[in-house]
């Protein structure tokens, strides 16, 4: 059940030819502009964010407010970049990363394929096939291994209901130890003399130090970070040791009037055709706003978009362009058959798939992984990859949202929608012909399936050994 079409869509545009490394390349638009860009790191070589390769040689980098280097950053981290770019290449003056939360897992409902939900200190964390994963704990090798009591750090998109759509999860410790620090950000509500809430989570601040709080008093609506060295009490209340003002007390970005901003994320609740909330920032749509892969009628709660625009004097982002994403339709785990870095493509299961400047790259092998990993690091015939892809509606091309190199496996995997039955005992999934004559399964056209088996390069057919239908 890996294919999710819940509108957490991958922003992807087929980039021009000449992609190499992490899918970068090209000369850009020729017009350089300065401003802010907030999105997920998709690769390194220097740092790729929102389709732009930023040089970082002279930039200041911070992680959770502390000075850092590029090596402290990771694919999947949601960062804010200040700098200049021409749409393809740029120079970062600063890169800031701050996690959404680092806390104790209370419930875990993650399927074997890595999709599902976690409850972390009262907040719901959504995990899917686009979420990157790291672990510092032996024996926890994927999201499905996460268990109640584990301490995890989450980066991602915070929705209005305090749900976090995770772009990166890192397991920090197997269990919380009193005296170590956990933290979470949110907007204060239901304030009393001793407690307040972030969504459904209650926080006891009666013994907390207040830092940088205006007037020294908390108020409903204030955006803060809560730190705790005591953890949760028996009722699940977070016992705060410190409450700090975050981002000046609100979630929006600190852009000055006229400053440019590129912002990617899911549209918040209460959206209309003329305005919506995006990661705490109000976006205004005007008659001059341009649209790609949709229209103003496509604006809806939860739909992921990329917005480019300028801040007005009220701090609202006036959209010059809104681009709607494409849903991941198919996942393939198999051996790389061919790679053409100059054309920006790889071939897997007989399909030629393009990488673009939004494709997320990661080398996830257990030994000697390459940090600045890209197409030109792949070895046809030997390297195993997981490729999440979709078909571009405008061009018909297959485009990768994620390319991850993995350790070897005895089996190939294919997940997607049954498109046709090209012959007796055969189905077609994502353009791949699958022989199911040797198993007792009869999926109907339109059903979502997960298939394990072996792909034969010579025949161009995958022979299924197991098939499950996503209900």
Say which CATH number the domain at 463 has: 2.40.50
Residue numbers of the domain that contains 442? 412-470
Domain end call among 324, 341, 366:
324
Residue 37 falls inside a structural domain: yes
Q: pLDDT truncated to tens, each residue of the chain (471 aa)?
A: 333 332 333 333 222 222 334 444 444 445 667 888 998 998 887 788 887 888 888 899 999 889 999 999 998 999 999 999 887 889 999 999 999 999 999 999 999 878 899 999 889 999 988 899 999 999 999 999 999 999 999 999 988 777 899 999 999 999 999 999 999 998 899 999 999 999 888 999 999 999 999 999 999 999 999 999 999 999 999 999 999 998 765 555 667 888 999 998 889 889 999 999 998 889 999 999 999 888 999 999 988 899 999 999 988 999 999 998 777 889 999 999 999 999 999 999 999 999 987 788 999 898 888 888 999 999 999 999 999 999 988 889 999 999 999 998 889 999 999 999 888 899 999 999 999 999 998 899 999 999 999 999 999 999 999 999 986
Residues with Cβ within 8 Å of 322's Cβ and at least 6 positions away in sequence, in order, are 283, 285, 289, 290, 291, 292, 294, 299, 305, 306, 307
Residue 367 falls inside a structural domain: no
- Provide the CATH number for the domain around residue 269: 2.40.50.140
Residue 79 falls inside a structural domain: yes
Number of domains the chain is built from? 3
114 and 2 in contact (C-beta within 8 Å)? yes
Alpha-carbon distances, residue 359 vs 19, 22, 154, 406 (angstroms): 11, 8, 21, 17
DSSP 267: B
pTM tops 0.85: no
Residue 44 falls inside a structural domain: yes
Residue 229 falls inside a structural domain: no
Identify the bridge partners of residue 279 per DSSP, sorted by sequence position: none
Identify the bridge partners of residue 107 per DSSP, sorted by sequence position: 119
Residue 23 falls inside a structural domain: no
Tokens 């050994």 — which residue? 465
Handedness of CA 372, 377, 383, 387 (dihedral sign): positive
Residue 248 falls inside a structural domain: no
Residues with Cβ within 8 Å of 334's Cβ and at least 6 positions away in sequence, in order, are 348, 349, 384, 385, 412, 413, 414, 455
Beta strands in 98-145 (DSSP E): 101-110, 116-120, 123-127, 132-135
Cα separation, 308 vs 285, in Å, equals 11
Residue 456 falls inside a structural domain: yes
């Amino acid at each position: 059940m890996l294919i999710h079409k819940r509108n957490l869509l991958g922003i992807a545009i087929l980039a021009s030819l000449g992609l190499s490394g992490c899918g970068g390349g090209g000369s850009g638009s020729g017009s350089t502009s300065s401003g802010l860009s907030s999105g997920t790191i998709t690769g390194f070589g220097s740092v790729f964010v929102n389709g732009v390769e930023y040089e970082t040689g002279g930039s200041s980098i911070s992680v959770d407010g502390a000075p850092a280097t590029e090596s402290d950053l990771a694919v999947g981290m949601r960062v804010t970049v200040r700098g200049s770019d021409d749409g393809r290449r740029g120079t970062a003056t600063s890169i800031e990363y701050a996690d959404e939360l680092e806390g104790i897992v209370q419930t875990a409902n993650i399927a074997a394929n890595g999709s599902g939900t976690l409850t972390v200190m009262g907040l719901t964390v959504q995990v899917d096939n686009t979420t990157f994963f790291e672990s510092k704990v032996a024996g926890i090798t994927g999201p499905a291994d996460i268990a109640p009591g584990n301490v995890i750090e989450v980066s991602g998109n915070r929705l209005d209901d305090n749900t976090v759509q995770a772009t990166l999860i890192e397991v920090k410790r197997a269990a919380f130890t009193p005296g170590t620090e956990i933290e979470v950000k949110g907007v204060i509500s239901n304030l009393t003399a001793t407690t307040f809430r972030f969504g459904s989570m209650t926080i006891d601040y009666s013994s907390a130090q207040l830092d940088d709080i205006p007037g020294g008093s908390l108020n409903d609506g204030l955006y803060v970070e809560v730190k705790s060295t005591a953890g949760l009490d028996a009722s699940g209340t977070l016992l705060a040791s410190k409450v700090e003002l975050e981002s000046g007390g609100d979630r929006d970005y600190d852009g000055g009037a006229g400053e440019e901003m590129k912002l990617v994320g899911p549209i918040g609740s209460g959206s209309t055709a003329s305005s919506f909330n995006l990661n705490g920032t109000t976006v205004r749509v005007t008659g001059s706003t341009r649209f790609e892969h949709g229209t103003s009628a496509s604006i809806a709660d939860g739909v992921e978009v990329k917005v480019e625009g300028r801040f007005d004097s009220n701090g609202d982002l006036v959209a010059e362009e809104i681009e709607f994403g494409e849903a991941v339709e198919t996942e393939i785990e198999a051996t790389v058959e061919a790679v053409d870095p100059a054309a920006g493509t790889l071939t897997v299961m007989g399909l030629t798939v393009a990488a673009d400047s939004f494709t997320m790259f990661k080398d996830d092998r257990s030994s000697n992984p390459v940090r600045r990993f890209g197409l030109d690091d792949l070895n046809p015939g030997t390297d195993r990859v997981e490729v999440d892809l979709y078909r571009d509606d405008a061009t018909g091309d297959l485009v990768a949202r994620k390319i991850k190199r993995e350790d070897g496996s005895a089996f190939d995997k294919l997940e997607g929608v049954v498109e046709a039955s090209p012959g007796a005992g055969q189905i077609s999934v994502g353009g791949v012909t699958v022989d199911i004559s040797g198993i007792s399964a009869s999926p109907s056209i339109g059903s979502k399936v997960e298939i394990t088996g072996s792909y034969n390069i010579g025949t161009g057919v995958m022979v299924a050994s197991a098939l499950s239908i996503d209900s």
